[in-house]
């Protein structure tokens, strides 16, 4: 597609789609998403928004996301090891 041969402003006007296509060959598709992955995404997204607003640090966001995700799994009656 011609659009995929154009430079992308976000990437410093580089033509990146060939790189993405090559890298995608190394993506392992034999994994399984966790049962509460949407919760984890929400926790991470909310925390990241807080951090970019100066209300937290990335380290705190990751720790909080981990704790919240574990609790979300426990609420589904799943065993979580710490």
Contacts of 56 (CB under 8 A, 6+ apart): 47, 50, 64
What does the pLDDT read at residue 22?
Answer: 93
Residue 15 has pLDDT above 80, yes or no: yes
Residue labelled with tokens 């399984």:
32
Q: Tell me the two tokens of residue 34.
A: 């966790």
Checking if the pLDDT of 1 tops 90, the result is: no
Separation between Cα atoms, residue 36 and residue 33, nearest integer Å:
8
What pLDDT, on a 0 to 100 scale, did the predictor assign at position 21?
A: 92
DSSP-based three-state secondary structure for 42: helix
pTM over cut 0.85: no
At residue 55, the pLDDT reads: 86
Q: pLDDT (tens digit, 9 = 90+) per residue, 62-73?
A: 999 999 999 999
């Amino acid at each position: 597609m011609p659009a995929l041969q154009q430079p992308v402003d976000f990437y410093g006007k580089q033509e990146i789609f060939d790189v993405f296509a090559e890298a995608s060959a190394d993506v392992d598709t034999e994994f399984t998403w966790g049962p509460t992955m949407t919760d984890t995404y929400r926790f991470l997204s909310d925390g990241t928004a807080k951090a970019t607003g100066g209300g937290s640090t990335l380290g705190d966001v990751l720790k909080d996301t981990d704790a919240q995700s574990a609790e979300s799994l426990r609420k589904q009656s799943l065993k979580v090891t710490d």
